Homo-oligomer: A and B are copies of this chain.
Amino acid sequence: MTYTVQVKVMPLKDLLDPQGKAVMGGLQNLGLKDITDVRIGKHIDLQIEASNEEEALASATAAAKKLLANPVMEIFDVTIN
C-alpha cells in the first residue's frame, strides 16, 4: 500500500532564521503589523510503499535522518495521514 508521509523540517529554535527575518520585514512593509515572528522551514511529502503505517513512518524517519534534515541546524517531525 502507498502511504503519504509528511516531514516537517524547521530551523532549531535557538538559531537565527535569516530567511524568516527577511520575510517578516516584507510583511511589515505590506502593512501586516500584527505578525511578530516568522520562521521558515521545509515541508516534504513522501509517497512510501509499505505494508503498514509503522513501516512507512520508519522509512520516512530514516530518510529525514540520512538526507532531509541537518541535525546541527534543524529538527524534523514525521506525521502520517
* Contacts from A to B (Cβ < 8 Å): 2, 8-10, 20, 23, 26-27, 30, 32, 34-50, 59, 62-63, 66-68
Contacts and interface: CB of A to CB of B under 8 A. Distances in A.
A35 B10 contact: no
A35 B63 contact: yes
For the complex of A and B, list the 3 residue pairs with the smallest distance between their C-beta atoms, beginning with the closest.
A37-B47, A43-B43, A39-B45
A8 B49 contact: no
B66 A10 contact: no
A37 B34 CA distance: 38
A67 B23 contact: yes
Contact of A32 (B27, B44, B66): B66
